[in-house]
């Protein structure tokens, strides 16, 4: 029989942490101290948070360590105040007050209840970064505190770009709104709605022109096979680059000439779709046989910049839409083809468009790209 696992342990650098085993997995959380007495006082909070938060979000602040003042009557009848911590005078339930991590867990519960699935890893990353960056607790959140945080993230502080600041504030604002609607935060007003944190200097995504498609001939001729195929799927499929990079062999039916973005793997519900691909492109994919993984976006963009510095992988998604308009293609079919949400009841009745209908709608675009890249 193995030795019993110690809940409180110490790392090589002296920092204490708690460790739990749950469903065959090991969960740990740093106690943020090398002092054994402080570690012991924080352990119950850490264990509770680990039991409720299996993603291992680190505790950046400990409510029990917040300063407090307690008054004591001395034997001589004088009243003396001394500094202590909130942990010494608070009731146990007061130490377990609602905080950002509770809102994150609430948002996950609401998502699973309403849509039957969890958030993406990127959603967790964005929210966890926001929580770790935030210098105040939920109780301390106010327009003034938010304004100071925004200033600390700006050019004179951490140097974050406007988009990053927007994402940090937006993540916490969304967590609050979800928890208000779910009933977790009763009679709570979202302080973020009283502060402007949106980024108006959003970088413009360049749209590929017909001249850019002509330049692609040289790029495609010299690109590695995986990069070439990724770009061709984007050019002829109007896809997001991630929609190609996540695809496995099982997502392609090369005999039927289709690529599928399965349920649960798209950016949103509308992006989960099956699209047709030109038959010659399917043959190239078949010959490649997925010998290597798809290339990373940075490398592909660097290769595109050799043709034109403004070009990125997303340029061809925009270019696909521009060509469809110039060629007078069926707009709703093209919206469904690229994974945009169809307006009104068109998204509810008729289940969108068949693969054959999508291929018919895209045919003029494919022909034009063939002409521009000298495939015709």
Q: What is the pLDDT of residue 66?
A: 59
Per-residue pLDDT for the chain (376 aa), expressed as one digit of tens each? 344 567 788 877 787 877 777 666 667 777 777 888 878 877 877 777 666 554 444 444 555 555 666 666 677 877 777 776 655 645 554 444 567 888 888 899 898 888 888 888 788 888 988 998 999 888 888 999 999 999 999 888 888 888 889 999 999 999 999 999 988 887 788 999 988 887 655 557 889 999 999 999 999 999 999 999 999 999 999 999 999 999 999 999 999 999 998 876 666 677 888 999 999 999 999 999 988 889 999 889 999 998 898 999 999 999 999 999 999 999 889 999 998 876 643 443 334 689 999 999 999 999 999 999 987 5
Dihedral sign from CA coordinates of 208, 210, 212, 214: positive
Residues with Cβ within 8 Å of residue 143, at least 6 apart in sequence? 191, 194, 195
Determine the 3-state secondary structure of 366 from DSSP. Answer: helix
Q: Whole-angstrom Cα distance, residue 276 to residue 362?
A: 9
Q: What is the pLDDT of residue 62?
A: 52
Q: What is the pLDDT of residue 57?
A: 46
Q: What is the pLDDT of residue 348?
A: 36
Cite the DSSP H helix spans in the chain. 36-52, 86-89, 92-95, 100-115, 121-133, 143-153, 162-182, 210-222, 225-237, 241-245, 279-288, 297-307, 315-326, 331-338, 355-372
């Amino acid at each position: 029989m193995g030795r019993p696992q110690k809940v409180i342990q110490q790392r090589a650098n002296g920092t204490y942490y708690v460790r739990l085993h749950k469903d065959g997995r090991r969960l740990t959380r740093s106690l943020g101290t090398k002092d054994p007495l402080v570690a012991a006082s924080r352990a119950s909070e850490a264990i509770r948070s680990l039991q409720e938060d299996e993603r291992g979000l680190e505790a950046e602040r400990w409510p029990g360590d917040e300063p407090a003042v307690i008054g004591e009557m001395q034997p001589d009848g004088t009243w003396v105040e001394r500094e202590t911590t909130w942990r010494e005078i608070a009731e146990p339930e007061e130490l377990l007050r609602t905080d950002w991590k509770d809102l994150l867990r609430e948002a996950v519960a609401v998502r699973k209840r309403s849509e039957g699935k969890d958030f993406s890893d990127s959603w967790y990353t964005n929210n966890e970064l926001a929580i770790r960056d935030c210098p105040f607790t939920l109780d301390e959140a106010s327009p003034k505190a938010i304004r100071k945080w925004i200033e600390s993230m700006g050019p004179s502080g951490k140097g974050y770009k406007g988009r990053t600041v927007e994402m940090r504030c937006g993540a916490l604002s969304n967590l609050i709104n979800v928890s208000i609607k779910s009933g977790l935060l009763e009679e709570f007003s979202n302080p973020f709605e009283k502060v402007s944190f949106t980024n108006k200097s959003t970088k413009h995504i360049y749209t590929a022109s017909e001249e850019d498609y002509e330049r692609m001939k040289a790029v495609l001729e010299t690109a590695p096979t995986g990069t070439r195929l990724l770009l061709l799927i984007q050019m002829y499929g109007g896809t997001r680059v991630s929609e190609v990079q996540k695809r496995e062999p099982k997502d392609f039916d090369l005999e039927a000439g289709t690529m599928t973005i399965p349920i649960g793997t798209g950016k949103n519900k509308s992006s989960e779709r099956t699209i047709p691909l030109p038959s010659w492109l399917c043959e190239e994919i078949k010959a490649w046989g997925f010998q290597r993984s798809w290339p990373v976006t940075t490398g592909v963009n660097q290769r595109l910049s050799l043709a034109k510095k403004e070009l990125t992988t997303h340029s061809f998604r925009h270019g696909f839409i521009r060509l469809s308009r110039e060629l007078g293609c069926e707009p709703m079919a093209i919206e469904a083809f690229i994974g945009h949400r169809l307006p009104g009841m068109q998204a509810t009745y008729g289940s969108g468009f068949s693969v054959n209908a999508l291929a018919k709608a895209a045919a003029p675009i494919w022909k034009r790209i063939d002409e521009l890249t000298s495939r015709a």
